Amino acid sequence: MRLFGFIIALTLFSSFSATNNNETFDFDAFRQYYHLNDSVTSSVLSNKVILVEFWASWCQPCRVKNSELNAIYAKYKNRNFEIISVALDTDSLRWRKAIRNDDLGWPTQVRDTAKWNSVFLKQAEVYYLPNNVLVNQDGKVLGREVDTEDLEKVLN
């Protein structure tokens, strides 16, 4: 089952991957798979545009993108925007060190120790890093593989 879909601005933002317009991001499955507290994620996600960013501490392009996302998060975090990071890391210490070193300021950091064998990644059709999905307040997916330039256009 595909979990992603729906671009509302395909003609404006053609550089990120188009998806089927009637699919949604299943936050309930996301919460269950990653054992997230419903009250924490509900408060984080309430009425916001959410970028679910897939990365890893060992992925150099991911680390570069983290610094770009820091700037965007600082600019838009008080304007109904949130980031959830999902790291494909088995080493907890290396993962935590990367979060500190990259100064990731958003509250939801998840580690997927199954890495490429992750059931959720397979359902989400994430096959490489860095990767992401941008979701609106209703769970509709606005796009995948959104670069930081297009992300800023959407958030503006």
pLDDT at 16 over 90: no
Per DSSP, the residues of 21-69 read TT-B--HHHHHHHTT--HHHHHHHHTT-EEEEEEE-TT-HHHHHHHHHH
At 97-119, the pLDDT tens digits run 999 999 999 988 999 999 998 88
| Residue type at 82 in one-letter notation | E
Q: Which residues contact 17 (CB under 8 A, 6 or more apart)?
A: 143, 144, 145
Q: Would you list the domain boundaries of the chain?
A: 27-155
- 63-85: pLDDT as tens digits: 999 999 999 999 999 999 999 99
Other residues' Cβ atoms within 10 Å of the Cβ of residue 44:
16
Distance CA 21, CA 55 (A): 25
CATH code, residues 27-155: 3.40.30.10
pTM of the predicted model as reported, rounded to 2 decimal places: 0.82
pLDDT score of 2 more than 90: no
Instruction: Give the lowest-confidence range in 8-22, 33-47, 54-68, 78-92.
Output: 8-22
